Structure 1
């Protein structure tokens, strides 16, 4: 095993609860803009809300919670999208010592019932009538649940009215007795199999990565020329990454806007109108933005120009990286000249799609592809790829300033230790490690080994302490020949092709590795339109299908180039519909439910391998000889 840690100073220890930072900002800088909200979803105007105004709204709502019988230690679930009310409600609950239980608004009835029962919730806040009906259908099995508040029916206003008689001193006294080690959040992991698991996160744990990042990297979010940093929060607050974004903004004094809709049109509109200076997203969002850049350029007849600009951006960023890591002189004259040309003609237009003011970004949730990371750095938007998980309240690593390395998730945060066990599993120790799993001491003991959290993730540390994530321990595939394959690298590479939206590598107890692939509908429509196939309808469809097979085959070949022959994809099938939360094949945090996908497509997987095995066996001792060319069966 090996240890690694960063050099920046550790943030000062927390002395109270998470709500204190809001009250402190309101006292020291009352007119500082803290949150921004729109009068309605269609509006392009944002109204800034100052720290003292937010504080007063939190206090008024906290009074209503007290009047409703919410006491320290009570658990209240919030089942809503990322919206203004989520933040105000969250800090009001923390101000009275209550514990927040986030629930994804897309959760099924069974999931909602499980979480509300498992967490012993006394109240739940939902958005709309449909959610009220979902909760109402399970209330009979939840004797401790006393309150169901609906945001769209004016529940918060009603709570404020109910708490008018509660003195301010009551809220202040409750807030002051919240200790750093009190539980702040019961965060349920999405659960790729079985029921979600509740992770108890303390006030200290949630604050720790936020304060450490602000202490060591806070100056990097300040826009050029000074001014207040701003962040558009659109990641679900039901996920620890979204909560971490909220914590960074409130504790760091950054202006935060909320965008509840995750669809592409709504997010694009919000980015253009809010114009954030910092961008927090997951890899799939960065992948989608890149593909949109490419498709837009191709539709305008500038596809070749974009690809040259993208290659130049990656080459420029790679040269900068070699220089800052002491391995090269930096970009040469010709490369700098090309980069300057594309800055005027291409790169600044790309940055404008994100509002035109973004100077840096953070990616989390899963590792960001190195080529994609270099592209964004090359167009003037460095993406800090970090690592964390629910059980660590988010942040575990970050890219060291001035020594960033794309393709890795950086180094351990100050105060946090990382080890890689002999079997490749990442172990973590530090102040952000969770308190344990709710009602599951056996699983808690299994995860916490002598003070070290066994993450279940696989990775490697280099001699300088940079961590590279290679996959999940439970996702490793073992073929019938005994070859162990981690699917992450192959899936990541496949998704980089513009046509491919999702990919799942399969092959447990099979003679070779296979893949289930879904296509990006937007790019597929453009791709079909760009084909010049002139013939009768039946012939045209056949030629289109052949061309599509060849294109996907090229993507598979490109993915295979990053792994050994024994690990390469030999068979694949393109599916007619994507993996989605609604069909139970994605978690609410957009992670693949691998077991569910394999069960759902069991017949297709069998047919994929059987079709290939019926081909004439090639001579030679290698069992895989007959699988040398990737199959391209379409469903």
Structure 2
């Protein structure tokens, strides 16, 4: 196959060029079970045949909900797409109310789920979703049909010719998937992406991401219902890369050592946590080992690509990599060649230190509405610059509006929001998609994101505040785990801070200070508050007087996806956090 125009063409391309024995690999119990490219397609075709037998027509909607990334999801994805139906991926952690809204709004007729926990949520609202005919589970779940019933139903190949006719009738401009993202009204918006949107983004990005074809392992753990990870899965298939699915974020450390991946995707929050753990281990060392660790770390913070620091720096870096940074690599499986980073702004110190450690972090930029990649860094040919999200990929056009907003045009831009012409027209104007991000392009063509347009705010004094810039600086403190800058319309910027409780306990023990045993006691401790004030003062020194955080309040909760503080890609849910801590907000500004 020379041409890839539809999403289901990717595994056929892989079969023709690579025919892997371990195309998709999932851990069940203690065993990693491999699915070959051939078996992957055989099962996908069985799903297509069974869906056709069940009466699935072109443009029907079928939901996919999984609490972890797994082989079955991708078999069903291709099986659904080949029938001309659309895949509606849904986050497993959303509320029952949102499940009900998305299933009704999309008019999904079938739903594939992962386990009993998801089944209980869907079953609870099933009577309120009249279009939903049946639910199929990947795991054995009491009271729920199992997806293997469809594999069995699809063993009869008599209607394969109908599947082939369906496939041949699908144009590259046909709708492939509807991905629901948070809306400004509180209701999720359904982003409509065609085969062309995602295929073009994969192929335009492929030349930028330095992957070794046919001989590489990827570890996948970011939510597959998010377009970032999903697009990468198609990219891995294009390159003939074996995809291993991590069990969970809690087990990722073990999975790294079991799989020894060459490439994986990350979000900044994960890198921050990895760095904090490495730092804590280095800080616990003694004597010459500790001195060497911090010497290497300081060297890493000064990193510049392409030997810009000169021969003496490169000589020292070579030593640091051998003595210290090689241990970092071992902790990440020992063979990691590339981290692909997206979803939010990455602290420049992390980009520098991981690249210094010979674990390149290729930061990119995009949105669900752009399938998602707009730009990405590339270590080769001078295509990498610390602090940027790289150069715009070929085939996509970006311009900066007068107010600094990034505008995008290209084959990767969505066709609109499902059943919502008003919101579609709000973001697609004069042929350009308005990203809502503020940025700039330097003279060499590197794109830099400075903030979200909707997140920037004015104080009552008329001064603009860019919260992400402040937050990334403050989070460099080991005492601060999460921070959200507030102050829209108020006289000064302030912040909610979730301390790094583990580090505070270690600090209290080391300093022989009784800080309390519970999080509530810790955030009320005057010595803790005083110590974090020192960190705030130090970070404030980087900003103008109008930007400085004048007051803060510590929160006793661990900010998490489950508790509603963070999105599945670990971004702050600002409105919700403000509502959760409205009493602290009034305390700051009363």
Question: Does 2:91 match 1:111?
Answer: no
Tell me the residue number matched to 1:277: 262
- What is the TM-score when the length of structure 2 is the normalising length? 0.93
Q: What is the Cα deviation at residue 505 of structure 1?
A: 0.2
Contact 1:193–1:595 (8 Å) recurs in 2: no
Distance 2:586 2:17 in 1: 65
The residue that corresponds to 1:6 in the other structure is: none
d(CA) in 2 for partners of 1:110, 1:26: 41
* Deviation string, structure 1 residues 358-387 (Cα, Å, up to 9, x no partner): 112111001211111001110101111100
User: 1:233 touches 1:242 (CA, 8 Å); kept in 2?
Assistant: yes
Q: Once the 2 structures are TM-superposed, how far is the Cα of residue 547 of structure 1 from its aligned partner? A: 4.2
Unaligned runs of 5+ in 2: none
Cα distance, 1:276 vs structure 2 = 0.6
Task: Note the 1:144-183 alignment, pairs <5 A.
Answer: 144-153=131-140, 155-167=146-158, 168-183=160-175
**Aligned CA distance change for structure 1 residues 529 and 595 (closer, same or farther; 3 Å):** same
Moved more, 580-589 or 17-26: 580-589
Contact preservation (8 Å) 2:261, 2:333: yes
Q: For 1:57, which of 37, 43, 48 is the aligned residue?
A: 43
Cα contact 1:459–1:468 (8 A) shared by 2: yes
Partner of 1:487: 467
Q: Distance in 2 between matches of 1:304 and 1:227?
A: 42
Cα pair 2:10 2:234 within 8 Å, conserved = no
- CA 1:526–1:535 in structure 2 vs 1: closer, same or farther (change >3 Å)? closer
Which residue of 2 is the match for residue 621 of structure 1? none
Shift of 1:15: 5.3
- Asked whether 1:565 is paired with 2:565, we answer no
- Considering Cα pairs closer than 8 Å and 6+ residues apart, tell me whether 1 or 2 has the greater RCO: 1
Cα deviation for residue 438 of structure 1 reads 0.5
- Are the structure 2 counterparts of residues 299 and 544 from structure 1 closer, same or farther at C-alpha, using a change threshold of 3 Å? farther
Structure 1 residue 413: Cα displacement: 0.5
Do structure 1's residue 289 and structure 2's residue 274 form an aligned pair?
Answer: yes
**1:272–1:176: structure 2 CA closer, same or farther, 3 Å change rule?**
same
**Cross-structure match for 1:39:** 28
Q: Which of 176, 187, 192 is equivalent to 1:184? A: 176
Once the two structures are TM-superposed, the CA of residue 28 in structure 1 deviates from its matched residue by 4.2
Q: Give, in angstroms, the shift of residue 338 of structure 1.
A: 2.6
Tell me what 1:206 maps to: 198
CA deviation profile, 1:336-376 (whole Å, cap 9, x unmatched): 34322222221000011110101121110012111110011
| Aligned-residue RMSD, C-alpha | 2.4
5+ residue gaps, structure 1, are 1-11, 611-635
Deviates more, 1:594-603 or 1:497-506: 594-603
**Taking structure 1 as reference, are residues 332 and 192 closer, same or farther at Cα in structure 2, changes over 3 Å only?**
farther
Moved more, 347-356 or 554-563: 554-563
* SS of structure 1 residue aligned to 2:546: helix
**In structure 1, what is the Cα distance between the partners aligned to 2:122 and 2:214?**
44
- Asked whether 1:97 is paired with 2:84, we answer yes
Deviation string, structure 1 residues 86-115 (Cα, Å, up to 9, x no partner):
111111111222211111111100010111
* In 1: Cα distance, 2:488 partner to 2:522 partner: 33
Moved over 4 A (4+): 12-15, 534-537, 541-544
Residue 597 of structure 1 is matched in structure 2 by: 577
Distance 2:536 2:185 in 1: 28
How far is the alpha carbon of 1:583 from its aligned partner?
3.0
Distance in 1 of aligned mates of 2:3 and 2:400: 29
In the aligned structure 2, how far is the partner of 1:66 from the partner of 1:262? Answer: 36
Spell out the pairing of 1:443-592 with structure 2 (5 A cutoff): 443-533=423-513, 545-592=525-572
Q: Does 1:402 align with 2:381?
A: yes
1:588, distance to aligned residue in structure 2 (A): 2.8
Distance of 1:358 and 1:378 partners within structure 2: 14
Q: Could you tell me which residue of structure 1 aligns to residue 54 of structure 2?
A: 68
Secondary structure in structure 2 of the residue aligned to 1:569: coil
Q: How does the TM-score come out when normalised to structure 1? A: 0.86
What is the deviation of 1:283?
A: 0.5
Match of 2:330 in 1: 352
Maintained 8 Å contact 1:14/1:204: no
Larger mean Cα displacement after TM superposition, 517-526 or 432-441: 517-526
Decide whether the 8 Å contact of 1:426 with 1:454 is kept in 2.
yes
Q: Is this contact kept in 1: 2:25–2:35, CA < 8 A?
A: yes
SS in 2 for 1:38: strand
CA distance in 2, matches of 1:247, 1:159: 24
Q: Is the 8 A contact 1:571 1:609 kept in 2?
A: no
* 1:33 to partner: Cα distance: 3.4
Deviates more, 1:356-365 or 1:67-76: 67-76
More displaced stretch, 98-107 vs 491-500: 491-500
Q: 1:57-86: per-residue Cα shift (whole Å, max 9, x none)?
A: 211222222222222211111111211211
CA distance in 2, matches of 1:514, 1:310: 31
Moved more, 418-427 or 82-91: 82-91
8 Å contact 1:192–1:587 — kept in the other structure? Answer: no
State the distance in 2 between where 1:543 and 1:527 align: 14
Give the whole-Å Cα distance in 2 for the aligned partners of 1:194 and 1:245. 29
Shift of 1:429: 0.3
Deviating more after overlay: 584-593 vs 565-574: 584-593
Give CA deviations for 1:272-328 in whole Å, capped at 9, x if unaligned: 10111012110001111000101122234455543321111222x22x35x5xxxx5
The CA distance in 1 between the partners of 2:516 and 2:270, in whole Å, is: 39
**Is the Cα contact below 8 Å between 1:499 and 1:520 reproduced in 2?**
yes
Kept after mapping to 1: 8 A contact 2:406/2:436: yes
